[in-house]
């Protein structure tokens, strides 16, 4: 009989320290210093790279780090209601997947950007944004595109095979689950290899293992997929 799995210990919040930087060391180090400083620079930061390079992870990690310091933040992506107003209490504005913003949300993003860097109260806020393309190639209105590329721009690189394994192992260890080499091989050769998909798969495996009170093995992976 299955047991209902509790959420305790599952999917730890993304952190900058928990991000395997690899070739993205410069970007991660810059974000770490920026988030840790109460007097952080208002110069915008833009991260870009293909799917699986860690953009959304880093934005969520930055939000987690800032909120842990008591800093209110605004979050904007393609699902944000177009009528959401800029909140003067925000200390930082985060924008994810900016290449997906429609006309209404591009207007919203521009409004938030201007209110953040040139506020009426004279207290500039930080802006951290991410997209799949370099600023010059973004399919956005020109005034927004040029502002996203005005400050620090970092290209993020997709992890190598060895780095994927290390990230998956680290994420499993953080959840307190054992992921054997044979399971690792099975997962990496049969499923989407971008980190976002791998983390979702690990979350599902962790929950299913708790529900069935079984270790994570290849038969368990197959059983979970058949049941789903």
Cα diameter, the chain: 61
Asked whether the predicted pLDDT for residue 12 surpasses 70, the reply is no
**Which one has a higher pLDDT value, 169 or 18?**
169
Secondary-structure class of domain 161-227 per CATH: mainly alpha
**CA angle (87 as vertex; 83, 92 as ends), nearest 5:** 115
**Dist. CA 100–CA 131, nearest whole Å:** 8
Structure confidence by residue, pLDDT tens digits, 142-174: 999 999 999 999 999 988 888 888 888 888 888
* Region for 213 from its dihedrals, namely left if φ exceeds 0, alpha if ψ lies in -120 to 50, beta otherwise: left
The full set of domain ranges for the chain reads 22-155, 161-227
Coil, strand, or helix at residue 174? helix
205 sits in which H/E element: helix 195-212
Secondary-structure class of domain 22-155 per CATH: alpha beta
**Under a CB-based contact definition with an 8 Å cutoff, are residues 224 and 191 in contact?**
no
Q: Which residues pair with 75 in a beta bridge?
A: 94
8-state DSSP, 155: E
Structure confidence by residue, pLDDT tens digits, 69-87: 999 999 999 999 999 999 9
3 pLDDT band, cuts 50/70/90, is very low
pLDDT at residue 228 in the model? 60
pLDDT at residue 158 in the model? 85
């Amino acid at each position: 009989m299955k047991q209902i799995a509790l959420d305790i210990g599952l999917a730890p919040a993304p952190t900058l320290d928990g991000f395997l930087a690899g070739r993205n060391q410069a970007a991660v180090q810059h974000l770490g210093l920026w988030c840790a400083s109460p007097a952080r620079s208002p110069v915008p930061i833009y991260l870009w790279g293909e799917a699986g390079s860690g953009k959304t992870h880093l934005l969520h990690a930055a939000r987690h780090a800032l909120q842990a310091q008591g800093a209110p933040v605004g979050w904007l992506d393609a699902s944000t209601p177009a009528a959401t107003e800029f909140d003067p209490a925000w200390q930082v504005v985060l924008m994810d997947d900016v290449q997906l913003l429609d006309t209404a949300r591009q207007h919203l993003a521009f409004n938030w950007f201007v209110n953040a860097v040139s506020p009426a109260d004279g207290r500039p806020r930080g802006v951290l944004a991410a997209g799949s393309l370099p600023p010059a190639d973004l399919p956005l209105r020109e005034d927004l595109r040029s502002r996203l590329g005005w400050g620090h721009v970092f290209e993020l690189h997709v992890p190598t095979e060895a780095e994927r394994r290390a990230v998956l192992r680290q994420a499993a260890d953080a959840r307190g689950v054992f992921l054997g080499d044979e399971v690792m091989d099975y997962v990496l050769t049969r499923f989407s290899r971008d980190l976002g998909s791998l983390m979702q798969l690990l979350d599902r495996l962790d929950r299913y293992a708790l529900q069935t009170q079984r270790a994570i093995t290849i038969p368990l992976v197959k059983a979970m997929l058949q049941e789903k």
